[in-house]
């Protein structure tokens, strides 16, 4: 039976539509694969129920549900994974781990081999682990506290009465996220504090002076990076940074600066920032940690509002301002704008399906993470493919370029590494993403 020309056209059109649909589904699968695996160096399934991690050298440490896990950063390979009773896991600069409970400390080397385990009658709170695995802690009985030193075998070699210093247990500031309540966190190898009256730098372990006095504001603004201690003072409109290294005077640098009130302090491997974020104008004072040049500048954050997002986050080489509808980065050496990224209303709120909201933004290290809780339209076309609900775009904080992307579950935590790679940790998964 002959087919009419109209029917032929309908068949051709249907075939074309099927072809286009297949093409779109294919593109969707390609895009979904790209979001899930395109920029992923490695992926590992984890079962600690923890979003927290610490990276030291070439090792990744996680601790959750009593399980300490150590992985190789380069390929995600498990180096050690075992149950170690405790509440916190503290990682030193050499990769040694102290797992601490109320009555017990277990110290392991960077490969997870146990060095020693010891029970105590009083609470011990470690504040430093040397690169050889020796440990300093505050030990508190019912009425008194002391500082104790334990060698690499766990033997107590010294004990000193605690001095009344606000810097003793949490000396200075060792970067972002160091003195919070994370189950796994990093502590320094060498710990100093500042005498509140004389401003003399002292070892926390025994109170021994280790250098000349540094200049400080009334609220004792100071920061420690390794064996470098930096103090900041303001007098007659001038902010002066002074530093000692291993107890010896290192450098001094100054810049004109406004009144700072009670400033935030952010510290990285090669830069310190002070910022006053109380008004619509944010004041920033900063210097590199070689003491070459200090400078001060202001950032206009706009009119404050409860309904408006305004967050300032320093990074190693840029200052990032996050507003409701855009992200702006500034140079720490000049205060000039580096780039602006406008945020589209592409995400749907969880509690109100009819409301379209701007993507979320988090900043960690040199990485800006822009995430939205909906897969991209192309990825949504990938029929039969399960794509995690959140799409992350990782932006270089200095250049403003999107360097990598990843689809990951809700609640994943992002850790920007110094070299621009990104470690993403979820309850059941871990990814290393690379530009």
Options 2.40.128.630, 1.10.540.10, 3.40.50.620, 3.40.640.10; which CATH number does 47-194 get?
2.40.128.630
Tokens of 79: 């180096």
Mean pLDDT of 232-261: 87
Domains 1-38+310-435 and 47-194 are alike in CATH topology: no
With beta carbons less than 8 A apart as the criterion, state whether 170 and 145 touch: no
Question: What span, in angstroms and rounded, lies between the C-alpha atoms of 29 and 149?
Answer: 58
E strands, 270-401, in order: 271-276, 281-288, 294-300, 310-314, 319-323, 326-330, 337-342, 347-348, 356-357, 360-364, 367-372, 390-396
Q: Other CB atoms closer than 10 Å to residue 298's CB: what's the count?
A: 13
Q: Which of 44-53, 120-129, 240-249, 319-328 has the lowest mean pLDDT?
A: 44-53
Q: 307: pLDDT confidence band, cut at 50, 70 and 90?
A: low
Chain length of the chain: 435
Q: Are 399 and 43 in contact (CB under 8 A)?
A: no
Residues β-bridged to residue 402:
395
Dump pLDDT digits (tens) for 342-398.
Answer: 988 765 545 455 555 678 899 999 999 998 876 665 545 444 456 566 788 899 999
pLDDT at 95 > cutoff 90 = yes
Q: What are phi and psi of 8, to 5 degrees?
A: -60, -45
Is the distance from CB of 222 to CB of 231 less than 8 angstroms?
Answer: yes
For 1-38+310-435, the fitting CATH number among 2.40.10.480, 2.40.30.60, 3.90.1150.10, 3.30.200.20 is 2.40.10.480
Q: Which H or E run contains 80?
A: strand 78-83
User: For position 167, what pLDDT does the model report?
Assistant: 38
Instruction: Give the per-residue pLDDT at 263.
Output: 83
Domain ranges (residues) in the chain:
1-38+310-435, 47-194, 211-300
The pLDDT, as a whole number, for residue 376 is 62
Rounded distance between C-alpha atoms, residue 121 and residue 103, angstroms: 7
* Cα 11 to Cα 303: distance, rounded to the nearest angstrom: 60
Asked if residue 244 lies in contact with residue 254, where contact means CB atoms within 8 angstroms, the answer is no
Mean pLDDT of 291-315: 83
Of 323, 357, 315, 356, residue with least CA distance to 341: 323
Do 279 and 259 touch, CB atoms closer than 8 A? no
Residue 69 φ then ψ, to 5°: -120, 135
Of residues 187, 207, 185, the one with CA closest to residue 196: 207
Taking the C-alpha atoms of residue 430 and residue 73, their distance in angstroms, rounded to an integer, is 11
Q: Which of 221-230, 264-273, 337-346 has the lowest mean pLDDT?
A: 221-230
Q: Encode pLDDT of 159-211 as tens digits.
A: 887 654 433 333 333 333 333 456 888 888 877 777 767 777 777 777 777 76
Answer whether residue 102 shows pLDDT above 80: yes
Contact 118, 107 (CB under 8 A): no
């Amino acid at each position: 039976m002959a087919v009419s020309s109209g029917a032929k056209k309908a068949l051709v059109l249907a075939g074309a539509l099927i072809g286009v649909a297949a093409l779109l589904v294919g593109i969707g699968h390609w895009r979904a694969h790209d979001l899930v695996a395109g920029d992923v160096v490695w992926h590992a399934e984890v079962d600690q129920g923890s979003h927290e991690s610490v990276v030291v050298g070439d090792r990744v440490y996680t601790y959750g549900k009593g399980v300490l896990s150590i992985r190789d950063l380069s390929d995600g390979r498990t180096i050690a994974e075992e149950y170690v009773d405790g509440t916190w896991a503290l990682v030193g600069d050499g990769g040694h781990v102290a797992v601490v409970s109320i009555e017990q400390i277990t110290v392991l080397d960077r490969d997870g081999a146990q060095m020693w385990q010891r029970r105590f009658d009083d609470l011990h709170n470690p504040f430093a682990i040397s690169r050889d695995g020796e440990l300093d802690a505050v030990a508190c009985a019912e009425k008194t506290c002391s500082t104790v030193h334990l060698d690499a075998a766990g033997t107590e070699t010294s004990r000193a009465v605690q001095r009344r210093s606000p810097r003793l247990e949490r000396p200075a500031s060792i970067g972002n996220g160091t003195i919070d309540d994370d189950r796994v966190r990093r502590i320094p190898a060498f710990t100093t504090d500042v005498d509140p009256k004389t401003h003399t730098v002292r070892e926390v372990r025994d109170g021994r002076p280790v250098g000349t006095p540094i200049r400080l504001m009334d609220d004792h603004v100071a920061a420690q990076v390794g064996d470098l201690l930096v103090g900041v003072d303001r007098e007659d409109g001038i902010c002066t940074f002074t530093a000692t290294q291993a107890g010896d005077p290192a450098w001094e640098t100054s810049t004109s600066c406004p009144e700072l009130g009670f400033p935030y302090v952010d510290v990285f491997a090669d830069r310190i920032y002070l910022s006053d974020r109380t008004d619509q104008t944010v004041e920033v004072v900063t210097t590199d940690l070689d003491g070459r040049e200090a400078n001060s500048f202001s950032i206009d954050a706009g009119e404050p509002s409860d309904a408006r997002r305004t967050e300032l986050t320093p990074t190693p080489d840029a200052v990032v301002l996050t507003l409701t509808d855009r992200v702006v980065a500034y140079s720490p050496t000049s205060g000039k704008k580096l780039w602006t990224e406008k945020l589209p209303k592409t995400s749907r709120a969880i509690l109100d399906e009819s409301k379209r909201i701007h993507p979320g933004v988090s900043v960690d290290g040199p990485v800006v993470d822009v995430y939205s809780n909906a897969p991209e339209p192309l990825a949504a076309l990938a029929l039969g493919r399960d794509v995690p609900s959140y799409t992350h775009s990782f932006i270089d904080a200095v250049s403003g370029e999107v360097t990598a992307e990843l689809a990951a579950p809700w609640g994943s935590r992002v850790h920007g590494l110094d070299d621009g790679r990104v470690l993403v940790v979820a309850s059941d998964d871990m990814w290393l993403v690379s530009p």
